[in-house]
Chains A and B, each alone.
Chain A
Amino acid sequence: MQTIGRPVPRKEGRDKVTGQARYVDDLIFPEMLYGATVRSAVARGRIKKISFEGNIPWDEFTIVTAKDIPGENCVALILLDQPYLADEFINHPEEPILLLAHPDKHLLEEARRNVQLEIEPLPAIFTLEDSLNRKEIIWGEDNLFKSYKVEKGNVDEVWQSADFIIEGEYETGAQEQLYIENNGVIAIASPEDGVTVWGSMQCPYYVHKALLKLFGLPEDKIRVVQVETGGGFGGKEEYPSMIAGHAALLSWKSGRPVKIVYDRAEDMASTTKRHPSWTKHRTAVSRDGKLLGMEIDFVIDGGAYATLSAVVLSRGTIHAAGPYSCPNVRIKSRAVATNAPPHGEERFAESNKTSRQKKGMGFASFMHGAGFTGSGEKYLESVVGAEATADGRVRILAASTEIGQGTNTIFAQIAAEALRLDYDSIEVAKPDTGAVPNSGPTVASRTCMIVGKLVESAVLGLKQTLSGSGLLKENYTQEDFRQACRSYIEQHGALKSYSKYKAPPGINWDDEKYEGDAYGAYAWAVYVAEVTIDTVTYEARVDDFVAVQEVGKVIHPILAAGQIEGGVAQAIGYTLFENVVWKDGRMINNQMTNYIIPTAADIPPIRVFFEENPYAYGPAGAKGIGELPMDGAAPAILNAIENATGASINHIPLMPESLIEALGGESG
């Protein structure tokens, strides 16, 4: 029975629609305390004094500062520059300084307001220009987290012979991921039993790695369990390591379970957002329409600490030239520091752009690489396990998380198809670092193509073991498989199989020269937007949207279309609605009333079409899909606006307040 390509029910769908699914904030542990974070109000400075004021029974509170950290005070990720709690120096607004825990969460808030911080301010920088010009050195020796250079052919020689040279500067803004469920965790930690954390997250093993360093404990003393997660969009990639550490520190000191769940205001102001960016393109073109050369300068604002900026920059660098054949290319890219909260990954996007109601149409053609960039997958060495039970059921063991996008469902489909079993006979284990191997982070459009392929290999390993033991014949039924599993387990014990990532043949990448195959495969797409500009209010509406993409074999048509529809809706928000208002490095519209995301009434019909060209090294021929739809909507919409008004717009978000300027204040 074929399951690939069919819209089977979601594995966790019934629990979600009937309200049985339990999220962090639904979990109550006996004797549990609530935790809160005291944060900096200034962008950069030096802590002079902390005092505990007000009519608060302070002796009832667990109070944690940097001095209480048993291991190293840094969030282990790529670099070790970001502290869990600022000890002396503050580098961005909302930086955590002190933690509080108490059984009464209302009194906890009152206490948080009564911690007085005396901070001597230091000069801060908030713009890419100030960081590049080193107005202040706020990170390392030069404010530079990372830079890359890509060279192909000889760009310097093309300008002379070019018939046309097209130049432009493009800016994109920060974007809040705005998952429905805010960040939240519960921790139990003690020197005797180690640390266990339950939380809403994308990458359990990132949290695991960070807690190892924070507590200085051996690997088997740290356990991280993902609970039902209400969306991530890249916003729960690295930040859960921070909040998990905070809850664990409070539990370590109090000896009781501690829950920290942010409210929307704290989540929006404090956690990572999409990196703001600036790009300069210079392109040489011949009269017959050939691209002769491209020179690209790409800069992203990483905020105060390095976090994942190097990874985001790398992907941006490689995608900067778009899906075009061009003999001469130079790409220079930099990730720089500012005194804003660190910017993290968000479902990637690349804006390479090219009566009263004015209508226009625009399109964008683009690609998106699936999996970690460059040698990333090689270093990750992801592992997936499969386990068969005596009643012939198969469990997938992976740390890849279900965050609403369908991981559980497609893994079960891939396994069922590979083993020719019923979809219902496949289970997907809950990601728990105590029970599943490290299949890598749930990011970078890698879960289906990379981890899904490992699922396929792992379950085929089960079949080979059974065949090799002479227990399973070539054409078997579900019942034959069950019998074989039972016999095997009776004779040999547990039946498990593991599969580890190996790069497909012919895929090579040079980290030094930044040359080679950055990704095993790319998804390809053409998006078309139709817009109306209201010249009375300068509001742009997307009236119709067509998204055509080639993503290899489509595993689940409804989930895949949902990924595209959701991604396009998010990208329409990115392009026309979502404006993070900054003041001195702090987001000041950190509430849903004033950070405007589009409603269903603002989103047009999104017409999704798939071309299927199976990829040999993806499961059943599938490639990656998650981030792809973010890339195309902005350039398609800006091109449509140019078509409608003649105004060439090079920045997003394009709010009505800036379209008024682009249209020269022309009235209706």
Chain B
Amino acid sequence: MRAYLPEYELKPAASLTEALTLLSDEPGVWKPFAGGTDLMVLFEAGKLLHKKFVNIWNLPELRGIEVTPEFVTLGALTTYTDVQANEVLQQEFPMLCQAASETGGLAIQNRGTLGGNIANASPAGDSPPALLVYDAELELVSTQGSRFVPYNGFHTGYKQMRMREDELIKSIHLPRVSKPLLHYYRKVGTRKAQAISKICFAAVTQVDASEIKEIRIALGSVAPTVIRCSRTEDVLRNRKVNAETISAARLELAREISPIDDIRSTARYRLRVAQNVLEDFLTSLN
């Protein structure tokens, strides 16, 4: 362990109110610590720059999966294991379950949370592309009350998001309109388990008389944030799937994403494989 332990503070919060009060009394001083699956890796490597954390892991207000006729509401502390075990999610949001099953190993799936995955704001997260195409909304809370923001557009740049320092993600709302859609999810990570994605692709669509009606596409690891590819969606909407459509969609996707060379892969590979996966998805519709 390379971190100097005495420099760190992890304060337990007895209630959501107590956690939020701490965040608002000293803005920017305290940061939330949930499952710790990202923070502990940085800590171990001596690269965790922030030193003061409030432990929110035990807050019941941020737990649980609630189902109403219109929405499934996932508490921010919902773990990947919780996601996989939920029947409504299995039936209506299968890509979220698949993403959860492909994230880390069992220990990570037991500790890692959806709220943490969003707040960590990595462009390589496995769940965010699925949340984007499922039109998720986030409920943010602070001592001043709560507000809802669409997940699409929540991330504004690398590790940047539309959330104040005194706010916590309380829950994630998924509108229950996905069941009739076709779902396609593909994580490319070179090995079959325990991989960080090189490309992560999620899409839902509705095809009527071989014409694409509704379509939503999102990609991870190809830009500073996970992104909804709305321009590529526009190219595909109300089109029949044929060689010409596929070619146009590939071209538009290349304009819409901005992959880079990094320690895990190359820009060239990411671009080409993102296009290939898009084509694989479109071909699967016929």
Ordered nearest first, which 6 A-B pairs have the shortest CB separation?
A: A601-B192, A110-B4, A657-B269, A536-B276, A599-B193, A106-B5
Residues of A within 8 A of B1 (CB): 105-106, 109, 263
* CB–CB A594/B263 < 8 A: yes
Q: Residue among B1, B272, B279 with the most chain A CB within 10 A?
A: B272
Please, how many angstroms separate the alpha-carbon atoms of A287 and B265 in the complex? Answer: 44
Q: Residue among A356, A601, A657, A667 with the most chain B CB within 10 A?
A: A657
17 A-B pairs (CB sep. < 8 Å)? A106-B3, A106-B4, A109-B2, A263-B2, A265-B45, A536-B280, A537-B277, A539-B190, A588-B263, A591-B45, A594-B196, A594-B263, A594-B264, A602-B193, A657-B265, A657-B268, A665-B272
* CB–CB A656/B4 < 8 A: no
Residues of A within 8 A of B194 (CB): 599
Interface residues of A (CB under 8 A from B): 105-107, 109-110, 113, 263, 265, 356, 535-539, 577, 581, 588-589, 591, 593-594, 596-599, 601-602, 655-657, 660, 665, 667-668
Residues of A within 8 A of B3 (CB): 106, 109
* CB–CB B275/A596 < 8 A: no
Residues of A within 8 A of B5 (CB): 106
* CB–CB B195/A667 < 8 A: no
Residues of A within 8 A of B191 (CB): 577, 596-599, 601-602
Q: Residue among B188, B190, B193, B279 with the most chain A CB within 10 A?
A: B190
* CB–CB A581/B192 < 8 A: no
Please, how many angstroms separate the alpha-carbon atoms of A113 and B47 in the complex? Answer: 12
Please, how many angstroms separate the alpha-carbon atoms of A601 and B193 in the complex? Answer: 7
A110 to chain B: closest CB distance in Å?
A: 4
Please, how many angstroms separate the alpha-carbon atoms of A536 and B186 in the complex? Answer: 11
* CB–CB B45/A656 < 8 A: no
Please, how many angstroms separate the alpha-carbon atoms of A601 and B265 in the complex? Answer: 21
Q: A599-B191, A602-B192 are in contact. List 16 more A-B contacts (CB 8 A).
A: A109-B4, A110-B4, A263-B44, A265-B45, A536-B276, A539-B188, A589-B263, A593-B41, A593-B196, A596-B195, A601-B192, A602-B191, A602-B193, A655-B190, A660-B268, A667-B276
Please, how many angstroms separate the alpha-carbon atoms of A596 and B190 in the complex? Answer: 8
**Residue B273, interface by CB 8 Å:** yes
How many residues of chain B get a CB closer than 8 Å to chain A's CBs? 32
Please, how many angstroms separate the alpha-carbon atoms of A310 and B188 in the complex? Answer: 41
**Residue B46, interface by CB 8 Å:** yes
Determine the residue in chain B with the shortest Cβ distance to A601.
B192
* CB–CB B272/A109 < 8 A: no
Residues of B within 8 A of A538 (CB): 269, 273
**Interface mask (B236-278 → A, CB under 8 Å = 1, otherwise 0):** 0000000000000000000000000001111011001101110
B207 to chain A: closest CB distance in Å?
A: 21
* CB–CB A537/B192 < 8 A: no
Residues of B within 8 A of A581 (CB): 263
* CB–CB A667/B193 < 8 A: no
**Interface mask (B11-49 → A, CB under 8 Å = 1, otherwise 0):** 000000000000000000000000000000100111000
With A265-B45, A660-B269 known as contacts, the answer to whether A667 contacts B275 (CB < 8 A) is yes
A536 to chain B: closest CB distance in Å?
A: 4
**Residue B69, interface by CB 8 Å:** no
Please, how many angstroms separate the alpha-carbon atoms of A599 and B189 in the complex? Answer: 12
Residues of B within 8 A of A602 (CB): 191-193
With A581-B263, A594-B196 known as contacts, the answer to whether A668 contacts B276 (CB < 8 A) is yes
Determine the residue in chain B with the shortest Cβ distance to A594.
B263
A579 to chain B: closest CB distance in Å?
A: 9
* CB–CB A599/B265 < 8 A: no
* CB–CB A656/B2 < 8 A: no
A207 to chain B: closest CB distance in Å?
A: 27
**Residue B6, interface by CB 8 Å:** yes
Residues of B within 8 A of A594 (CB): 196, 263-264
B149 to chain A: closest CB distance in Å?
A: 31
Please, how many angstroms separate the alpha-carbon atoms of A534 and B188 in the complex? Answer: 11
